[in-house]
Amino acid sequence: MVDQNLLQLQDLARDKTPAGRRALTTTIGDLFCRHSDRMSEPERALMGGILLQLIGEVEVSVRQALAQRLAGVPAAPHDVVVALANDIVEVARPLLQESPVLNDPDLIEIVRQRSEDHQFAIALRKDVSESVSDALVATERQSVIANLLQNPNARISAKTMDYLVEQSERVDAYHNPLLTRAELTPELAGRMYGWVSSVLKAHILAHYAIDPLTLAQATATVVQELADQHLGTAKTTEDELAERLEADQSLLPPLIVQALRDGEIPLFLALFARFTGLSRTMARDLLYESRGEALCITCKASGIDRSTFASIYLLSRKARYHQKNVPLSDMAGILAMYDRLSPIAAASLLEKWRSQSATVQPAAGSA
């Protein structure tokens, strides 16, 4: 350090007025920013010690300016940076977001001890380790966690991702950011499928290779909770249950899948008949129809989406043949039919079947 700077610091140190304290703080901060690479260790330690004392004596605006200067300085004194990072957030923010001097233990301690605003700033750092991410998630503050998830430079452990996917069932703010994470596995995406919006369901199907049966299983827990909530413990007939649920049409497709998955065939028939407008007898015929084409037409005409139809098809085949797996060729063929099928043509066929006798099995026609 040049003698001129030393002389200037000595003069400033003699001035005990607030203006003198501000000038000394600013000068030392500037020296770190401009000449830290040329400072010896004793000089750096001396300047750091003086700064650490001064930051308790100067006003917020001076501390803010100092923090801003030191945020991008790798050789900034650690004790000073930590002290400023624990200051009010208006002072701490640039250091929390940018300073390479702050290590994981520093950041974790700040996360645990300081405000939500401090946590928010740390979540936006250019490099967030798994341990710091874990500390941020442990706060259970949704805004902090959502911003952590939106930070592509944050690393999140598999265990924490699993926990956040579980939490996303009740926290909608996690849906979008979770589905952009590189750490999200197909298995985790499949679990989320049970409770995200239709738009995000489409995103999952487009970006993750998930077997339709896996999707059906992923919705099982959510649907069971919905069923328990609506059905309660009272013993009623399947038709009475279906009638009680009919008021909320959006619940019927997942409950149809759940009933079939649980082997509750009478309840499936009651729900499916209510949703499609078919008789119970015809619904049973569709369930056991060998090729599943009439089932495909009915689902398409009734507005049942592709993934829900795939689940119904797979589970109905299992109910018919008592087999665990459906041949991939059968699955591919029936989904291709669903994709090609015109909703208008499907609706026309379904309307005819509704008018037929309940004992007549509908023949799968071409659409």
- Tens digit of pLDDT at every position of the chain (367 positions): 444 455 455 444 455 556 655 665 666 666 565 655 566 666 666 666 667 667 776 778 888 888 888 888 888 889 889 999 999 999 999 999 999 999 999 999 999 999 999 999 999 999 999 999 999 999 999 999 999 999 999 999 999 999 999 999 999 999 999 999 999 998 899 888 878 876 787 778 778 876 655 555 555 444 454 445 444 444 445 555 555 445 445 567 887 888 888 788 888 888 888 888 888 888 888 877 777 888 899 999 999 999 889 888 888 877 665 555 666 667 788 898 899 888 888 898 888 888 874 444 444 443 4
Predicted confidence at residue 1, as pLDDT, reads 44
Q: Which of 214, 366, 203 has its CA nearest to residue 296?
A: 366
Predicted confidence at residue 211, as pLDDT, reads 61
Spell 218-237 as b/e; 16+ CB within 10 A means b: bbbebbeebbeeebeeeeee
Amino acid letter for position 113? Q
CB 260 within 8 A of CB 223: no
Spell 91-105 as b/e; 16+ CB within 10 A means b: bbbbbbbbbebbeee
66 - beta bridge partners?
none
- Our measurement of the distance from residue 289's CA atom to the centroid of its chain's CA atoms, rounded to an integer in Å, reads 40
CA angle 330, 266, 220 (to 5 degrees): 65
Spell 15-32 as b/e; 16+ CB within 10 A means b: eeeeeebbbbbbebbebb
3-state secondary structure of 160: helix
CB 13 within 8 A of CB 43: no
Predicted confidence at residue 292, as pLDDT, reads 83
Tokens of 282: 């015809």
Q: Give the residue extent of every domain in the chain.
A: 3-183, 217-355
Contacts of 39 (CB under 8 A, 6+ apart): 1, 31, 32, 47, 75
Predicted confidence at residue 100, as pLDDT, reads 94
Let me know if 157 is exposed, middle or buried by CB neighbors in 10 A (0-12, 13-18, 19+): middle
Tokens of 205: 């199907």
What does the alpha-carbon distance between residue 298 and residue 281 come to, in Å, rounded to a whole number?
14
Spell 289-304 as b/e; 16+ CB within 10 A means b: beebbbbbbbbbbbeb
CB 83 within 8 A of CB 63: no
Put simply, whether the predicted model's pTM sits higher than 0.75 gets the answer no
CB atoms within 10 A of CB 85: 28
Contacts of 156 (CB under 8 A, 6+ apart): 130, 133, 148, 149, 164, 181, 183
CB 108 within 8 A of CB 134: no
CB 177 within 8 A of CB 161: no
What does the alpha-carbon distance between residue 262 and residue 283 come to, in Å, rounded to a whole number?
17
CB atoms within 10 A of CB 47: 22
Predicted confidence at residue 2, as pLDDT, reads 43
- C-alpha dihedral, 241 to 247 to 248 to 250, nearest 10°: 90
- In the block, tokens 């038709």 appear at 239
Predicted confidence at residue 17, as pLDDT, reads 59
